Chains A and B, each alone.
Chain A
Amino acid sequence: MSMSRREFLQVMAVATAGGMSLHSDIALAEKGAAKLYDLPKFGNVSLLHITDCHAQLLPIYFREPNVNLGFGDQFGKVPHLVGDNLLKHFGFKPNSIEAHAYTYLNFEKAAETYGKVGGFAHLATLVKRMKATRPGSLLLDGGDTWQGSGTALWSNAQDMVDACKALGVNVMTLHWESTYGEARVKEIEEKDFAGQIDIVAQNVKTADFGDAVFKPFVMKNMNGVQVAIIGQAFPYTPIANPRWQTPNWSFGIQEENMQKTVDEARAAGAKVVVVLSHNGMDVDLKMASRVKGIDAILGGHTHDGMPAPVVVKNAGGQTLVTNAGSNGKYLGVLDFDVKNGKIAGYRYKLLPVFANLLPADKDMQTLIDKARAPYLSKLNEKLAVTEGTLYRRGNFNGTFDQLILDSLMKVKDAEIAFSPGFRWGTSLLPGQPILMEHVLDQTAITYPWTTVTNMSGEMIKTVLEDVCDNLFNPDPYYQQGGDMVRVGGLQWTCDPTGKMGARIQNMMLKGKPIDPAKTYKVAGWAPVSEEAKNSGAPIWEVVAEYLRDIKTVKPISLNLPTLKGAANNPGMA
């Protein structure tokens, strides 16, 4: 699928005829491409932000969601806008390159036209360009960097650690990083990162005495301005991921301690205070309304590629809240103009990383190729061909998840299957081969075991209600930032506006209502309890077995709940 730069520009020129609004000749197309990244320097403090790349070192396809519902205070608000509603809100034209960068619209056609996104070698080129026009700027990494690929898992995160050092990351915070265990995280912090990358997290403390595990913040001098970067790790790491992987660390939102940390940073002379956050955007928006003195929260976790910041008013003034998407697709650039110790103005742009518009950085490409070399034969095993688009993102299900559910039910001979509502995982276009690497992109975690459980109907409802509350609790502080658990075999109705215990309705299996007292055979994966360690083969083996058997994946129809209360929601298309 890779094209030369010239071929790509020719495609861009041809695309105009197909309704793509770019330019009608190559010269103009090239100029337009350059314009996308032509971001004039502004002010004297610049922060470059990546987040949630999920270990995607190479360019990939990534389909944005067409279901990202918000209710109550979040109804119709950023980030709960999809498709045309998102375009309208941010003022982008349909069929523009931005429409493809930020929405799922015309995904297959636009993906073929504009090509793959992300990739560390292409990102490195963009980072270098931004750093060249912005001397002294810092590169911040919001976490979920070390997990999400076969190579990251097999190298125990080493490929990503080396790539981030080469990319020039200065400060990072954590989420999935912690699933490599406390010892590995501390080893990387103390050895690999020493003197180069600071890990910051004001909300990670020892479980016994509440001592800080990482630096709460770092102070950097940028062109004579003191800038504090406060870390906020994912607050629900030991709940959403296995607690046995971080038994001595306690997390949480720690709002009071955040205020204390902001005040300390200000007292130490910070003129700009920025939080590098893995809260998720709804949690960041609430935190911004309650904590004073933060100039910007650079956020991640919920994978919302939001082109402009939300400006939140609070008792201390205002706080900008951004979210920089996922899978290496974007680079956020935040510029502040600081005059006489005060912020006089700002500019923000979320730059999409189009691999065809940014030549690969040679050094980074060499590093990536070297890191992948030992694993190539495993990664490149062709398991099947897909006839339809495979993707994951969306509140309730994605075609790749449906494929995982189908694999679980078939291989484990189960009547019902559950698959976690993760938001990472790349996309495949119709006609693409499904390689082992692609299956690992959806499944590579440190607790990949499959499970088969005899569950009562009552327990099934309890599980679904529990996860649904993590997604749709009206108070963002109780939301964990994933999507709904994917459900195979079972038909159900979901009322996200209901109270906990009343959202899951009409559960049916093969035309019969689920009996609370009856036992059902349920297959799943990614168990968080320590007892479930090594419970069954890793999920990628189960999916690979299924794919090798069927060879061709027909276009997939999703098992979706019947939704109540979601009509006319701008977060659904």
Chain B
Amino acid sequence: MNNQRRNVLKTGSGAALLSVLASAGIIAPGMALAEWNKAAFDAKSMADTLKALGAGAPADSKDVQVTGPDIAENGAVVPVGVTSTLPNVTMVAILIEKNPSALAASFNLPAGTEANVQTRVKMGQTSNVYALVKSDGKFFMANKEIKVTLGGCGG
């Protein structure tokens, strides 16, 4: 276990940590707020979200992978990731079909960035989780079912 990293991060909480990361150049000021696609995040259904993102009906791709647990340990913080080996990926989005608003996260990737993102999402019920990737101007998708259960009653 990397205890030093753990302790550094424990002491540097909240806003203080953010400013540390910002001053270290890890997060550029305003980066998180740039190009906020309000319509896409406000959209309820998968179809409306894809429309708002200008993705239409993306093709399924084996070169896009959604990573995450088969069954969530805690629906409030489900670790989900997207990786892709497609060329020139400029955008990665994570959509959760059964959430009240499908779009959970959208990442704009500067040129030359490896398409590999990780985040935590909130899920109220079992749902397909979709990864949407924009590569060379075209959209591609992949999905994985993540189960959210009541728990208990195991072996």
Contacts and interface: CB of A to CB of B under 8 A. Distances in A.
A399 interface: no
A243 B126 contact: no
A208 B79 CA distance: 10
A251 B151 CA distance: 14
B3 to A, nearest CB: 9
B149 A470 contact: yes
14 contacts: A144-B155, A175-B155, A211-B2, A212-B1, A236-B71, A238-B74, A239-B149, A239-B151, A240-B154, A467-B152, A469-B147, A477-B70, A528-B151, A528-B152
A236 B2 contact: no
Given A239-B151, A420-B152, 15 more contacts: A236-B71, A238-B74, A239-B149, A239-B154, A243-B151, A250-B73, A252-B73, A463-B150, A467-B150, A480-B71, A480-B153, A526-B152, A526-B153, A528-B151, A528-B152
Contact of A251 (B2, B5, B73): B73
Contacts of B69: 252
A74 interface: no
Given A238-B73, A252-B69, A208 B153 contact: no
Interface in A449-473: 462-463, 466-467, 469-470
- Interface range on chain B (Cβ under 8 Å from partner): 20 to 34
Residue among A206, A466, A485, A529 with max Cβ neighbours from chain B (10 Å): A466
Contacts, number: 85
Interface string A140-162: 00001000000000000000000
A480 B154 contact: yes
A299 to B, nearest CB: 12
A423 B154 CA distance: 9
Does more than half of chain B's interface fall in helix, strand or loop, or is it mixed? Answer: loop
Contacts of B149: 239, 466, 469-470
A477 to B, nearest CB: 5
A51 to B, nearest CB: 12
Contacts of B126: 500
A480 B155 contact: yes
A72 to B, nearest CB: 16
A280 interface: yes
Given A208-B6, A209-B2, A209-B5, A470 B153 contact: yes
Interface residues of A, number: 45
Given A209-B6, A243-B74, A252-B70, A481 B154 contact: yes
Given A252-B73, A478-B147, A500-B126, A240 B155 contact: yes
A482 B154 contact: yes
Nearest to A175: B155
Leading 10 A-B pairs by shortest Cβ distance: A240-B154, A528-B152, A481-B155, A420-B153, A482-B155, A211-B1, A482-B154, A238-B73, A480-B154, A466-B150
Contacts of A302: 155
Interface string B1-31: 1100110000000000000000000000000
Given A209-B2, A212-B1, A482 B71 contact: no
Contact of A478 (B70, B73, B151, B155): B70
Given A420-B152, A466-B149, A467-B153, A239 B71 contact: yes
Interface string A185-222: 00000000000000000000010110111000000000
A538 B120 CA distance: 36
Interface in B44-60: none
Nearest to A302: B155
Does more than half of chain A's interface fall in helix, strand or loop, or is it mixed? Answer: loop
Interface in B123-154: 126, 147, 149-154
Contacts of B2: 209, 211
Contacts of B6: 208-209
Nearest to B154: A240
B121 to A, nearest CB: 15
A209 B8 CA distance: 13
A248 to B, nearest CB: 11
Nearest to A213: B1
A527 interface: yes
Residue among A236, A238, A303 with max Cβ neighbours from chain B (10 Å): A236
Contacts of A482: 153-155
A59 interface: no
Contact of B154 (A213, A236, A462, A463): A236
B31 to A, nearest CB: 23
B82 to A, nearest CB: 15
Contacts of A80: none
A234 B61 CA distance: 32
A206 B144 CA distance: 23
A121 interface: no
A154 B6 CA distance: 35
A423 B155 contact: yes
Contacts of B79: 250
A301 interface: yes
A243 B73 contact: yes
A570 interface: no
A485 B147 contact: no
Contacts of B147: 469, 478
B71 A478 contact: yes
A476 B106 CA distance: 32
A425 to B, nearest CB: 12
A422 interface: yes
A253 interface: yes
